[in-house]
Amino acid sequence: MKNAHRPRLTEEQIQHLLERYRIRRDTRARDKLVLQYRNLVESIGRRFAGAGEPVEDLVQEGYIGLMSALDGFDASKGVKFSTYATHFVIGQIKHYLRDKGKIIKEPAWLQELNQRMQRVIESLAQQYGRAPTEAEIAQVMKISEEEVSSLLTTRDVFKVGSLDAERDDGSTTGSEIEKVRSRQYETFELPIEDRIVLESAVERLKNVEQRVIHEYFFRDLNQTEIARKLGISCNYVSHILRNSTRKLKKILTTEDLKEVQVQLRALQRRGGQVDLEEVSGITDPATGLYTRSYFLARLEEELSRATRHHYPVAVMLMSLEYLSDSHGGWVPMTADERLEALGQAIRSRVRRADLVARYESHQFALMLPHTGSQAAAVCERLQGIVQTMNASSGQELFPVRGTLTFASFPEDAGNIADLLVRVEAGHPPSQAMERRREPLAA
């Protein structure tokens, strides 16, 4: 490549270019900085090559992250740009892979909390020129210090042995948990379905694995202290951490909501402290999907993130009408059986990142992050479910038809109230989305 031997810039030159770009948005300064950090972007992109996507695509996503870092960086805060940019490059590539379904993911709630926590940590680090304390993070996030500590502890389960936690020489890059840690865990109230998944996942490990996980993540001991306490070698402790966290990843990414509810009831029978009534506020007993109240709370959070990061969110409602057995001699199912069959069919045809809920007695709602006009394609997929759908329960079948309406943020509405009004009313299509209302049965 013609720029392969371009002389590297000095730190003073880099700072000068960063300041020029911050003040004037000088494109020549930006281009020089992009070339300066090309090796960083390409190196990070290659680290994700095992995800199955072309390295060229990963690197291209990395450059998008680098541009975002340049746009948001303030050199006056005293934080090194390379450190700041690395977070953005990795984050953009992971976001791309999550959309492709090519990366092992934390549960949705942990992704959301981690993203929020990471933004706060980065902002405070720039503000103070150092790693923030738990108290400082808690103040910004409006949660307790114990909850901050618990979130940091839980998120690190997904960092041991991860792509961005180990260098080629076997050493670790560290993480926020090494900078801000305490010993409190039990007080943090995670969403019920995912909290029980995490607890039950740990229970599936071998006794020695459970012990090491508990001592490392929940009691704040380092590997040397654990080795001494358990009478084993440090190398064996490291081996156990890597193997057990891989197992946890596999468990946590294959559990579904129904399994969670089974586990929750098992815990309750064993005398667990989690109240089963908590589940009713999150999951609908007839369908196993989320409830309207939980859907609205999550939608409000998603729109807040979308406002900060400038991406669209689509909301879709599916209103159902059951046909009687006179339309072809169908044997009617119970309402709950019909709803459960339809709900699970819908859930199986959307992305993991999408949220499906029972909105009204005969209505489902879907939230589609990072989706604007593409929601029309989702409508087409769902037509195959609802257009005179044959849903089975044993030997019983039923036909159903319905109507899909959808609207997107911020194109159709700038806040949650207006968005819901438009989608509930089945608002006429905008110029950008010609099909806002889809009849689903002849």
3-class secondary-structure state, position 342: helix
What integer pLDDT is reported at residue 195 of this predicted model?
53
In the chain the first and final C-alpha atoms are separated, in Å, by 59
The helix/strand/coil state of 368 is strand
pLDDT tens, per residue, the chain with 442 residues: 444 455 678 888 888 888 888 888 888 888 889 889 998 898 888 877 766 677 888 888 889 889 888 888 876 776 788 888 888 888 888 777 766 654 444 555 566 777 788 888 888 888 888 888 888 988 998 888 777 766 765 554 444 333 333 333 333 333 333 333 333 333 344 443 455 556 666 777 788 888 888 888 767 678 888 989 998 888 888 888 888 887 776 666 544 444 444 444 444 444 444 443 444 456 676 777 788 888 888 888 888 888 888 888 999 988 877 645 444 444 445 566 667 777 777 877 777 778 888 888 888 999 988 877 777 777 777 766 655 454 443 334 455 666 888 888 998 888 988 888 888 876 443 333 343 334 443 3
pTM for the structure as a whole = 0.39
How far is the CA of 269 from the CAs of 86, 190, 256, 273, 274, in angstroms? 47, 21, 20, 10, 10
Predicted pLDDT of residue 336: 64
pLDDT for the residue numbered 319: 82
- Please report the pLDDT score of residue 341 as a whole number: 74
164 alpha-carbon distance from chain centroid: 17
DSSP E strands in 75-206: the ranges are none
Domains and CATH numbers, the chain: 11-103 (1.20.120.1810), 191-280 (1.10.10.10), 292-439 (3.30.70.270)
Length of the chain: 442
Q: What is the pLDDT of residue 267?
A: 43
Pick left, alpha or beta for residue 298 (phi over 0 → left; psi -120 to 50 → alpha; otherwise beta): alpha
pLDDT at 315: 92
Output the DSSP codes for 280-337.
Answer: HTTB-TTTSSB-HHHHHHHHHHHHHHHHHHT--EEEEEEEEEEPPTTTTSPPPPPHHH
| Residue burial 408-435, b: 16+ Cβ < 10 Å; e: rest | bbbbbbeebeebbebbbebbeeeeebee
Q: How far is CA 257 from CA 126, 228, 262, 352, 382, in A?
A: 39, 39, 9, 12, 21
- The H-or-E segment that residue 118 falls in is helix 108-128
120 φ, ψ (degrees, to nearest 5)? -65, -45
pLDDT reported for residue 242 = 83
CA count, 13 A, side-chain hemisphere, 245: 25
